[in-house]
Each structure stands twice: as structure tokens, then as C-alpha cells.
Amino acid sequence: MITVDSNNLYKAGLEVAKVHAQIKDARSDFLHELTTKLVRDNDLIAIEDLAIRNMVRNAPPLSTAAFHALNSIQGGSAGKNHKLARSIRG
């Protein structure tokens, strides 16, 4: 239990807590409705685990052999992900 200096401060704290609880419940309800709709509307839901560290510009440098291997696979675009890195970092 939190001690407060006045009854009005205590009542104000209860009001703030009530508003926070309503926001939490609204978010939880939205997520529940959305996930239920996704499960009902789709036969298969796949989740992909991305290596975000490899997508941003400041990722650790590749070894020379790995860089050349990746470069040959991607047609010479290894390390050139400027737009993708910008969208990931925000």
C-alpha cells in the first residue's frame, strides 16, 4: 500500500490507475480479437525469425571470404542495404 499525504492525492492516483487499466484492457482485447480473426481466416500461419543484426548498416563486418561468397550469391549487392537498414532502425 502506498502512503500519500492527502486523500485527494490518493483519489487522483486511483483515477490514473483506472485509466491505465482501461488502456491495458483495450489493447489486450484488440490483440485477442486480431489473433482470433487471423486464426479463423487462415489455414496456415508461419512465423519467420529474422537476423536483424545482419540487416542494419552497422552490422559486424563480414570476413573477406564470407563477403565474396555473399556478393556472388546476391549478384554484387552484399553490404548494400541502405533503405532496408534505415527502415529497421526507424
Residue 87 has pLDDT above 80, yes or no: no
User: Can you tell me the distance from the alpha carbon of 70 to that of 64, in angstroms, rounded to the nearest whole number?
Assistant: 10
CB 57 within 8 A of CB 81: yes
Amino acid, single-letter form, for residue 66: A
Q: Tell me the three cell numbers of residue 1.
A: 500500500
User: Can you tell me the distance from the alpha carbon of 88 to that of 69, in angstroms, rounded to the nearest whole number?
Assistant: 24
Residue 58 has pLDDT above 60, yes or no: no
CB 53 within 8 A of CB 59: yes
More confident residue, 6 or 55: 6
Residue 25 has pLDDT above 60, yes or no: yes
User: Where do the domains of the chain lie?
Assistant: 1-38
Global pTM reads 0.47
Contacts of 89 (CB under 8 A, 6+ apart): 56
The pLDDT tens digits of the residues spanning 61-84 come to: 556 666 666 555 555 444 555 555
